[in-house]
Amino acid sequence: MRPAVVRILAYRPSPQSLRRNLGLLAATLLLAVLSTCSPHKDVLTQIRAQGVLKVATINSPTTYYFGAKGALGYDYDLAQGFADQLGVKLDMIVAQSPQEAIEMVEDGRANLAAAGLAVSPSRELHVRFSQPLLTVKPQLVYRMGDPRPSSLADLHGKLTVVSNSVHAERLESLKKQYPNLSWDETDDQETEQLLYEVANGQLQYTIANSDIIAINQRYYPRLRVAFDLADAQDLAWALPRDGDDSLFDAVQSYIAGISGKTLARLRDRYFGHVERINYFGAVTLASQVQSRLPKYRSAFMAAGKKYGVDWRLLAAMGYQESQWDPEAVSPTGVRGLMMLTLDTANFLNVQDREDPTQSIFGGAQYYTQLYDQLPDPIKEPDRTWMALAAYNIGLGHLLDARVLTRETGGNANHWLDVRNSLPLLTQARWYSRTRHGYARGFETVTYVGNVRTFYDMLTWITNGAPAKAKPEPAEPPL
């Protein structure tokens, strides 16, 4: 048998193929050199290049929300100031919870989180915090008239807190000290809703930060603080733990550069106790009718005649807004007897918001425009009450509440049904379905109720004809 012959064939590339391969090799080497030699762009440089600062937040009166006056919130104002300093656009990304806001920072969907975040050891494992922007106390609240507990051992009812919150974390750490302590955690209710349920007698206890409690006590006076659960707690912004210090250092420098007076004014704007003169007792009204109303009655009557509105309704709105004080200024920048925003005043051609006559005519015109923009099927008296709600919360949010009313089986043309839907605008599972998002619906319910009360009283005091509108059904007990 003849031995097998193995042939080894040498590959000889053509001149064209050789040149092509050498070209590819050169390009690859050049790309490798450029990638190693070109400087890496830090996060701050990237943000400036993109022109956008992405900030994760939550809808809350202490962080970020849209009202009739536009975007508001303590964290929002600070974040806008930081974006302005960087020369970029601010993009507020609304998370469903503080925990989700932190997760957005971790996975890169947001550059930082400004969501009223309490600094805690467990959170510091995932993000790093800026220097404190606010200090609060975690407090347990109950309803006035119920026994006041002195400690967690004295609870005799249901305690509910938001799940995955610092308060839930704190309760877990106190379990050893109070072995009989029990509580529920909720995913579909937010702190404001829990506070409302406590004030309304639907829930015995909840835990919230002192800033949120102070704001809600203005609207629900039966909310009472039983005790502090801990010492002062720092609230700060959260940034990623990615080894890049550029954005973190810029945040720290920005916060350090805010003057004490500026920060104090901002804190007072959202958390101060001397704020908008919204809800005064009826007893005070009688004295103000004698001392203040005569100065502006003719203007109210003239505006009412011009725009076809009962002057006493306009006067009730003015009393609710400013207690008939033409120099009143709210913490959100609205001012004057009818509390007009600068944008609204400019739109209405009101030159001086603190001129009482201009303010009254501007307020009457604005109310009438809202009244006329409501859908035709809304009839009186519901049309008046919904126009008042739009004056307070904004037409967009009022229309959102009508959509939710239909979704929950109510009549969107009836104020009573819409009134019951307005508080839903504080709950993520409801406002996430709407066009305009979060709004303080509870406040608007109170606003309309107070204006109606003042309107009825003014009708009686001025010995005029009884108000044509039927009485509003009683509010839920607080």
Among candidates 394, 388, 303, which has minimal Cα distance to 350?
A: 303
Phi, psi values for residue 318, rounded to 5°: -65, -35
First to last CA, the chain: 110
User: Which one-letter DSSP state was computed for residue 132?
Assistant: -
Instruction: Give the Cα separation of 445 and 475 in Å (integer).
Output: 9
Catalytic residue selected from 321, 327, 380, 407? 321
Cis peptide before 356 (omega within 30 of 0): no
Instruction: Assess contact for 114 and 56: CB atoms under 8 A.
Output: yes
Q: Is 207 helix (H, G, I), strand (E, B) or coil?
A: strand
Among candidates 134, 130, 132, 133, which has minimal Cα distance to 249?
A: 130
Would you tell me the crossing angle of helices 293-307 and 356-373 to the nearest 10 degrees? 40
Helix (H) / strand (E) containing 139: strand 138-143
Instruction: Give the Cα separation of 448 and 61 in Å (integer).
Output: 19
> Which residues, 6 or more positions from 414, have their beta carbon under 8 angstroms from its beta carbon?
382
> Which residues, 6 or more positions from 101, have their beta carbon under 8 angstroms from its beta carbon?
56, 57, 58, 95, 110, 113, 115, 117, 238
Tokens 């001129």, located at residue? 355
Task: Let me know if 103 is a catalytic residue.
Answer: no
Phi, psi values for residue 279, rounded to 5°: -125, 85
Instruction: Give the Cα separation of 271 and 290 in Å (integer).
Output: 33
Q: For strand 112-118 and strand 52-58, is the pairing parallel, antiparallel, or unpaired?
A: parallel
Catalytic residues: 321
